[in-house]
């Protein structure tokens, strides 16, 4: 089973998990109990990560980053079987970063060490895994943006007031 996803209550029997859940998995479980959607939990986790980063003077802590990225695996599973390989790879890379958080404090620490050891491009290096996680996050971002833009216009736009439709379009123009 896939690392932290196997600890989710909707993918396993009601028995207690054998391993303690990471912060991100615990957030998804809490979101499910509170009837919050996984997408909302992911958005709130990334907002909290940004606040922590600002408080740390622009340094991105590896532990919270890994935990937050772990939440995104739920979104991969929403995309169906066609993205199963991407999900498996993403989960493996995130698990590597979560494990690396025991030895490294920030993302910059990983990059500095891999540059020093000349292993940035080597398979299995933390910096390469970090890059793959970033690509996975980018993939999810693009797919969900496309889904929202096409599906919203086609099905939900007629049901929303003008103010909601206008808010959605102004957000899209800010991200471009």
Give all domains of the chain, ordered by start, each with its CATH number.
Answer: 3-175 (1.10.3520.10)
Cβ neighbors of 108 (< 8 A, separation 6 or more) are 59, 60
For 68-114, write each residue's pLDDT tens digit: 999 998 888 878 888 889 999 999 999 999 999 999 999 999 999 99
What pLDDT is stored for residue 32 in this prediction? 55
Question: For residues 74 and 160, which has the higher predicted lDDT (pLDDT)?
Answer: 74
Residue 144 tokens read as 């969900």
Question: What's the predicted TM-score (pTM) here?
Answer: 0.67
Give CA–CA dist 75/89, Å, rounded.
14
Closest CA to 69 of 109, 35, 25: 25
């Amino acid at each position: 089973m896939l690392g932290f996803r196997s600890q989710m209550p909707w993918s396993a029997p009601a028995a207690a998990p054998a391993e303690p859940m990471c912060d991100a998995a615990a957030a998804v479980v809490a979101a499910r109990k509170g009837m919050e959607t996984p997408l909302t939990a992911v958005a709130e986790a990334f907002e909290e990560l940004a606040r922590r980063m600002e408080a740390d003077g622009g340094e991105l802590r590896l532990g919270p980053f890994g935990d937050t990225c772990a939440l995104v695996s739920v979104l991969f599973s929403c995309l169906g079987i066609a993205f199963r390989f991407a999900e498996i790879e993403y989960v493996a890379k995130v698990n590597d970063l979560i494990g690396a958080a025991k030895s490294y404090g920030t993302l910059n620490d990983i990059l500095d060490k891999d540059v020093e050891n000349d292993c940035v491009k080597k398979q299995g290096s933390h910096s390469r895994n970090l890059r793959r996680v970033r690509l996975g996050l980018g993939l999810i971002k693009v797919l969900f943006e496309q889904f929202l833009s096409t599906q919203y216009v086609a099905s939900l736009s007629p049901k929303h007031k003008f103010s909601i439709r206008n808010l959605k379009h102004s957000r899209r123009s800010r991200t471009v």
